[in-house]
Amino acid sequence: MEWMHQLNQAIAYIEDHLTEEIDYRQLGKIACCSAYHFQRMFTYMAGVPLSEYIRRRKMSLAAADIQGSGEKIVDIALKYGYHSPTAFNRAFQSIHGAAPSAVRNEGASIKSFPPLHFKLIVKGAEEMNYRIEKRDAFRVMGVSHPLERDIEKNFEVVPGMWQKVSTDGTIQKLVQMMDSQPMGIMGISVCNDEEQWKYFIAVSSSKTDENLEEYTVGAFTWAVFDGEGACPQAIQELEQRIVTEWLPTSGYEYASGPDIELYLNADPQNAKFQVWIPVMKK
């Protein structure tokens, strides 16, 4: 499977660069997607964020170095990219539950996190409803917030945005501005490798408002998946299934475009929604 091979090549790249700063954009190139999409795929498939996996691998090797060599701990910290002893100690204890100096003693217990290896497992899962749709560029109006390149750092940003717009009148304003397809409130992750990453909460609209931001979603081929259930859990489960079940055998790969969550009703406990991912034929 070419797709699995690309993911495992990315893992090999991580292993070859654990004593250096790992370039997430290069990981995306190896896997034929953006750094953003690689991080999302990795998290859904591995069950752990990419940054945490890298931290675990570095601390596994650092612990082995502490126990198996006479190197100074400060030098081992520098070897794995930690210029602050405090930061190294904190990272080490978060993984091993003990300070670096404590595991140097004979018989001290440490944890090992071996390198991942991805493989495709076909299983009889429930059906997924989707369509492939080509769509011209369309204009949206809404609010945005910058995102970090390490998506683990954004886990509180996006829920905070939704909480704010739900209570300050922004959602009501957006609903009044919505006048073109696709109809619904959108969460748009604009995370390509060429510009500042942003998350938009917006609607498709031909209207203007000086207090809102305009963005044009480019022309793409989209894989559009239908879902329903209590959010955000239901939409996260659907996105995980897209990555782990549909994408590996679909004949498509990510295109360099935004991801869209399209909410079709206003009841978060019984939401109807769509997930749009930009794709292209392999």
**Predicted confidence (pLDDT) per residue in 239-270, tens digit:** 999 988 898 888 899 998 999 999 999 888 88
- Is the pLDDT score of 27 beyond 60? yes
Model pLDDT, residue 124: 54
- Is the pLDDT score of 279 beyond 80? yes
Nearest partner of 61 among 101, 114, 11, judged by Cα: 114
Does residue 266 sit in helix, strand or coil? coil
- Is the pLDDT score of 2 beyond 80? no
Model pLDDT, residue 39: 93
pTM of the entire predicted model: 0.84
Q: For the residues 209-219, what does the mean pLDDT come to?
A: 96
Q: Give the Cα separation of 12 and 60 in Å (integer).
A: 16
Nearest partner of 53 among 148, 119, 118, judged by Cα: 118
- Mean pLDDT (the chain, rounded): 91
Q: Give the Cα separation of 221 and 282 in Å (integer).
A: 13
Q: Give the Cα separation of 272 and 265 in Å (integer).
A: 6
Q: Give the Cα separation of 200 and 202 in Å (integer).
A: 6
Q: How many helices (H) and strands (E) does the chain have?
A: 9, 9
**Predicted confidence (pLDDT) per residue in 39-68, tens digit:** 999 999 899 999 999 999 999 999 999 998
Torsion of CA 208, 149, 232, 218, to 10 degrees: 40
The CA distances from residue 28 to 89, 150, 193, 267, in Å, are 30, 13, 9, 36
Q: Where are the beta strands (DSSP E) in the chain?
A: 130-135, 138-146, 185-190, 198-204, 213-217, 220-229, 252-254, 259-263, 271-281
